[in-house]
Structure 1
Amino acid sequence: MRLFPALLLSSFCLWVSPLQAQPTNVLFIASDDMRPQLGCYGDPTVKSPNIDALAKRGMVFQRSYVQQALCSPSRISMLSGRYPATTGIFEIGRTLRTTMPDITTLPQHFKNNGYHTRSLGKIYHEGIDDEASWTVPPWRSKKPRTSAATQEAVKKYIQDAKAKGIAIPDKGKGSRMSAVPAFEAVECGDDDLLDGDCASNAIAQLREHAKNPAQPFFLAVGFSNPHVPWISPKKYWDLYDRSQLPLATNTFLPKGAPEFAATSGNDFRWYAGVPEGELPEPYARECLHGYCAAISYVDAQVGRLLAALDETGLAKNTIVVFWSDHGYYMGEHTWWGAKHNNYEGATRNCLVIATPGMKHAGEKTDALAQSVDLAPTLTELCGLPANTGFQGRSLKPVLDDPAATVNDAAYSWYPKAGYLGLTMRTDKWRFVEWTKPGAATEYELYNMMHDPQNNLNVAAKPEHVKIIEALSKRLREKFPVQEFKAPGAVKKGKNQ
């Protein structure tokens, strides 16, 4: 990796937190497709000692939600500090500046205030980055995610297709993913695969920063696991007894939900060897095994980063955030390796924030949090001037008091079948309103006190008419009805 030994102070004004003799740094760690299935979230199955250790020095947000359960829109929303209703991006493909060319993003705000900002690994989506956010160009590892045998299988698949004159699509069935298994245990070291290499490069960058403590940094490190395919070094598979992994019990679609809404993505079905229809139990257990192993692989890399912070002395003035871009389904509602909807399992994510010397280290909070809240939160914690374009709310009051409340609801979006679904998660309800030009509005309502997994839509019950009216009024006062527009229908405009 190319290092930068001369991390010079920016010509911009350098802000220093009043509580620190040195400026406050940010280490932002992201994981792809990781649902809150960790020890610090009360899960007894997954081995996550390092993220759990981070939780002991920070705070776990037990009710954190992303603004869309899809990688790129979720990341764009978090990094911009704007709701998808503002960015206009609900799909994978466009960059943020196609709709908001003049926006100042979260890392760009730090860069503009004297920070060295850098992205390693998957922070924005692959091929959909934002160079204006970073002091130096984004870096991605060239190491593989798969074994040598799988790489050879992919080469042969492509060669055979070309010999037969068959066009290979970029994604989906028939793409090169059709030669990649959904899960694989690889006899290799951590650094032989992509995420381990990313951690090693991040550690090198931290050591470089430690040589110039006067230069504050915002270092974003993104891991690709546990996104399918669930491929990790074998030692992480060896942590688990497959026969003891608990299977989902709600293996049915949400009852009473609109048919178009009660769906998820088919990404998992693109990979080699995945059976059609319902998964046989032995295969389902292999999938869970691979997913848990992939989480433990990421956890080990987080541990390496935390150790580097301690070894370099940077821990004393570095905020650490661990965040995942959305939830995930592993058999619930019949969905495997999936998100792509507005339900609790897709929109609820991991969020742990640790600040140096925090008062409530090791505590958990039930305060509702949103990904758009991270931009104003980190801005305030680091003593930067406020960015009026950020639409979330600072979570600092919650870090100061876990019983505090800054949001009365969390919001998420998803387009389906020409409808644009907007969901509002309150303390008691998950309410979804689906709108489409020329079509009747569809509703979903789930009682989160009695139905936390959204198994039964109770919107049609007569006793809930007034509840739906009140929730809809509240929702639309904040977000007027918005039509989903395909990428070609969105006009560029000057936005801040």
Structure 2
Amino acid sequence: MRLTYLLFCLAFPLAAAFSSPPNILFIASDDMRPQLGCYGDTTVKSPNIDALAKRGMVFQRSYVQQALCSPSRISMLSGRYPATTEIFEIGRTLRTTMPDITTLPQHFKNNGYHTRSLGKIYHVGIDDDASWTVPAWHSQKPRTSAATQEAVKKFMSEARAKGVEIPKNGKGSRNNAIPAFEAVDCDDADLLDGDTAVNAIAQLKEHAKNPAQPFFLAVGFANPHVPWISPKKYWDLYDRSALKLATNEFLPKGAPQFAATSGNDFRGYANVPQGDLPEPFKRECLHGYYAAISYVDAQVGRLLAALDETGLAKNTIIVFWSDHGYYMGEHTWWGSKHNNYEGATRNCLVIATPGMKHAGEKTDALAQSVDLAPTLTELCGLPASTGFQGRSLKPVLDDPNATVNDAAYSWYPKAGYLGVTMRTDKWRFVEWTKPGAATEHELYNMVHDPQNNLNVAAKPEHAKIIEAFSKRLREKFPVQEFKNPQAK
């Protein structure tokens, strides 16, 4: 073991900072946009993630490869673009399209790591057994209050008695009996995310008993995905009257009508008014969302404390990642993502390695979720995987001013079109293609229009930019057709 580790250190100098092959603690949060103290937000209370940021580096321009839970997670965990996985919707597993793939956690498992998933890492019900040493674990604790659970039971019972089919989401689903937000008088561990943290801490303590066995532990939290339900103490952190509403409550101007849309899942919850939302209700939504963020933040704090208490911190790389951005009133969209704009595709990413040179710094380097697979592989000194399509971010961790990507790419299907967006330093370019239809374009100036309020693709002075970006995009990703196997 000593000779093996000596060779490991000689091959990968970073390993000298570790007492043995480094562990990975990968923390995922659902629907958390980069609205944290470490991202410059002064409203949200996120002291624990902010503390993690002081240990590591904040990637201020990190992007997912699709603004939808399952495709985003599959892309990140496989290290492949959606153009390769061919999964653009929730439903299919990765091995439906790539049966022989080696995923990121599987690569670690194949190289001697104990890999485990707790909570939402792959999408719930769409997991990948080959990625994990033991089957994925999910808490059986509820996300809602006891009163809401009873309301759901009554709703389901009455629907079945009437012979009504109950869909998973939308009109007629169980969500119709669940409020979009709720403050629950309970302890953290009484709800799902708190219970996930409890079990993750227990797993860390088990690993501490056998420090010679490196681990890849993935811990996924369901919040702040709607419904925004959390213990009341997190609601008490905020003054609702002081919360600021979005200033761009209008659709992107000049955008194709089919493109300037987002999901409507939020509208299916019990207490959501139809039509325009009154201002007091908007504030309640923001209040619930921020409280849900703070609830997750507290669980992250417990995980970090467990690392410190067990002594694992000195030999563990920590990643905090969210699966996409989120809209809370911008462009009239609430509790949603589902498109190719900046607000949907930009996510949280913090990477911390023990004793890192640039701890506490931020970088504007463009980063992609597909970059995590090669990054963690390199940081841990594992053999490179030729299947990973991203680029290692280690040069950026060594120098925040370094650049590894000249663009970040994201996909989204809409109305039979497949849209691919290319986010460069200055521009967000989107090309929409559909068999038998004219190609549509969007172009947003990220310097002057960071929220994508005005599509300038039709302006004559941008014709050459559109032409150059289209050529560059299609040299990397040839035109694809969106084929939904679930469509009838």
TM bin, normalised by shorter chain, reads over 0.9
Classify the secondary structure of the residue corresponding to 2:260. Answer: coil
Q: Deviations over 1:304-343 (max 9, x none)?
A: 0000000000000100000000000000000000000000
Shift of 1:181: 0.2
Report the equivalent of 1:45. Answer: 43
Matches within 5 A, 1:233-248: 233-248=231-246
Alpha-carbon separation, structure 2, partners of 1:89 and 1:345: 21
Aligned AA (1:145) = R
SS where residue 369 of structure 1 aligns?
A: strand
User: How many residues get paired?
Assistant: 476
Q: Does the 8 A contact of 1:15 with 1:114 survive in 2?
A: no
Tell me the CA shift for residue 15 of structure 1.
6.1
Whether contact under 8 Å (1:410, 1:426) holds in the other structure is yes
Q: Secondary structure at the match of 1:471?
A: helix
The corresponding residue for 2:4 is none
Give, as a single letter, the amino acid of the residue that structure 2 aligns with 1:394. S
| Structure 1 contact 254–455 (Cα < 8 Å) conserved | yes
Give the counterpart of 1:435 among 433, 436, 439. 433
Where 2:17 maps in the other structure, the secondary structure is: coil
In 2, Cα distance between equivalents of 1:174 and 1:320:
41
Contact kept in structure 2, 1:15 and 1:382, CA below 8 Å: no
In structure 2, distance between residues paired with 1:399 and 1:335: 35
1:2-401 correspondence runs (5 A): 17-401=15-399
Check the 8 A contact 2:208/2:310 in 1, yes or no: yes
CA contact (8 A) 1:444 1:457 kept: yes
Q: Aligned with 1:487: secondary structure?
A: coil
1:174 Cα deviation from its structure 2 partner: 0.7
Q: For residue 457 of structure 2, give the secondary structure of its aligned residue in structure 1.
A: coil
Distance 1:384 1:55 in 2: 25
Structure 2: give runs of 5+ residues left out of the alignment. 1-6, 10-14
Contact 1:367 1:404 in 2 (8 A): yes
> Match of 1:248, as an amino acid?
A
Instruction: Give the conservation status (yes or no) of the 8 Å contact 1:39–1:48.
Output: yes
CA distance in 2, matches of 1:432, 1:278: 29
Judge conservation of contact 2:26–2:216 (CA < 8 Å) in 1.
yes
| DSSP-derived class of the 2:388 partner | coil
Kindly state the Cα deviation for residue 170 of structure 1 after the two structures are TM-superposed.
Answer: 2.1
SS of aligned partner of 1:218: strand
Amino acid at match of 1:232: S
CA contact (8 A) 2:365 2:401 kept: yes
One-letter amino acid matched to 1:466: K
C-alpha deviations, 1:14-41, integer Å up to 9, x for none? Answer: 9673432212000000000000000000
Structure 1, gaps ≥5 residues long:
1-13, 490-496
The Cα of 1:478 is off from its aligned counterpart by 0.6
Query: Are 1:39 and 1:52, in contact at CA under 8 Å, matched by a contact in 2?
Result: yes
Confirm or deny: 8 A CA contact 1:267 1:338 kept in the other structure.
yes
**How much does 1:166 deviate?**
2.0
Q: 426, 443, 447: which one pairs with 1:445?
A: 443
SS at match of 1:250: coil
Q: Distance in 1 between matches of 2:441 and 2:21?
A: 48
Q: Aligned-pair distance for 1:286?
A: 0.2
Q: Which of these residues, 475, 478, 490, is aligned with residue 476 of structure 2?
A: 478
Which letter maps to 1:465? A
Secondary structure of the 2:262 match is coil
Aligned equivalents of 2:253, 2:304: Cα separation in 1? 44
Counterpart-to-counterpart distance in 1, 2:30 and 2:301: 17
RMSD, aligned α-carbons: 1.0
Give the TM-score of the pair, scaled to structure 1.
Answer: 0.95
The amino acid across from 1:161 in the alignment is A
The SS at the match of 2:224 is coil
- 2:113 and 2:50 map into 1 onto residues whose CA distance is 29
1:264-306: CA deviations, max 9, x gaps?
A: 0001011001011111000000000000000000000000000
1:403 aligns with 2:401: yes
Moved more, 179-188 or 155-164: 155-164
- 2-structure distance, mates of 1:274, 1:214: 52
Aligned equivalents of 1:415 and 1:42: distance in 2? 32
> Is the Cα contact below 8 Å between 2:430 and 2:442 reproduced in 1?
yes
Q: Which amino acid is 2:224 matched to? A: P
Amino acid at match of 2:108: F
Amino acid corresponding to residue 91 of structure 1 in structure 2: E
Letter in 2 for 1:393: R
Per-residue CA deviations over 1:199-242 (Å, capped at 9, x if unaligned) read: 00000000000000000000000000000000000000000000
| 2:140 aligned counterpart, secondary structure | coil
The answer on whether the counterparts of 1:107 and 1:117 sit within 8 Å (CA) in structure 2 is yes
Query: Contact conserved, 1:257 with 1:444, CA < 8 A, in 2?
Result: yes
Deviation, 1:162, is 2.0
Residues in 1 aligned to 2:19 and 2:262: alpha-carbon distance in whole angstroms: 49
Distance 2:156 2:38 in 1: 43
| Structure 2 residue 464 is matched with structure 1 residue 466 | yes
